[in-house]
Structure 1
Amino acid sequence: MTDAKPTISRLTKRSEFLACAKAPSHAKGAVVVQARPRGDDDPRVRVGFTATKRIGGAVERNRAKRRMREAARLMLPLHGAPGVDYVIIARGGAISRPWDRLLDDVKTALIRLAPDRAAHHL
């Protein structure tokens, strides 16, 4: 495994989010992470974020997505797999969850969904 950090870009199209919805997912604490290997030669990690109305109003959903974006910015370079699309979905408690536990939730889900789990040690 190389130490090169993957380049991260955003999912923007609805079709990309729907493709990830059919992929394996892992729920941990305040987040659900969906991971779909793209099967192309693009080494980038792509990520999208979503929060449903069950989280709350627009202010609460935006706050939850901001927290998830920052968690992904910190965790994807370390635990994200190149050539994989991720969607991180906020669950209840994503706003009030302590920051270190939210980071741990994202990290654990990314490790669980790694295409080659033998390369990662829990």
Structure 2
Amino acid sequence: MLATPNRLRTSTDFSTTVRSGVRNGRRNLVLYTAPIGAGEPSRIGFIVSKAVGNAVTRNLVKRRLREAGALSLQTHGTGLAVVVRALPAAATASWEQLLNDYNAALAVTTKRLSGSAPRNASQDRNGTTTEGTPRA
């Protein structure tokens, strides 16, 4: 179980994270990450719709994702808001698959947030990163 300070609770928190955060999709989930205050504890929220399965299946998926989130707090304990949206494939995924998808998506989103490479940047032949042109 996540501690109270580590939970996203309000719809405003969820929508802010989803709209302004960095997104990464995997086979079983989509993870959104947005920065919050540097000293604030990281907060995690979960979206598991009826498309995932019946109530028993949805709760199993939530419990597994909640545990993956609790494990990630050991390394990303402050400064992040994370929303995890379970996809229908998560219903048949094992614990290891969900954990691997969660950790891989979190690694990608935190790397993007750290500013290592802008989303629309590309590299030329010499390996120099150049800004891409925004899409219309």
Task: Could you tell me which runs of 5 or more consecutive residues in structure 1 were left unpaired when the two chains were aligned.
Answer: 1-7
Which structure has more RCO (C-alpha within 8 Å, separation ≥ 6)? 1
Superposition pairs of residues 1-122 of structure 1, within 5 angstroms: 9-22=6-19, 23-38=21-36, 40-78=37-75, 80=76, 82-114=78-110, 115-116=113-114
Q: Name the CA shift for 1:95/1:56 in 2 (closer, same or farther; >3 Å).
A: closer
1:29–1:102 CA contact under 8 A, matched in 2: no
RMSD of aligned residue pairs (Cα, Å): 1.8
Specify the code of the residue in structure 2 equivalent to 1:76. Answer: L
Task: Could you tell me which runs of 5 or more consecutive residues in structure 2 were left unpaired when the two chains were aligned.
Answer: 117-136
2:53–2:91 CA contact under 8 A, matched in 1: no
Distance 1:116 1:68 in 2: 24
TM-score, structure 2 as length reference: 0.71
Higher-Rg structure is 2
Specify the code of the residue in structure 2 equivalent to 1:64. Answer: V
Distance 1:95 1:67 in 2: 11
Structure 1 segments (4+ residues) deviating >4 Å: none
Q: Deviation at 1:21?
A: 1.4
Distance 1:74 1:41 in 2: 20
TM-score, structure 1 as length reference: 0.79
Secondary structure in structure 1 of the residue aligned to 2:15: helix
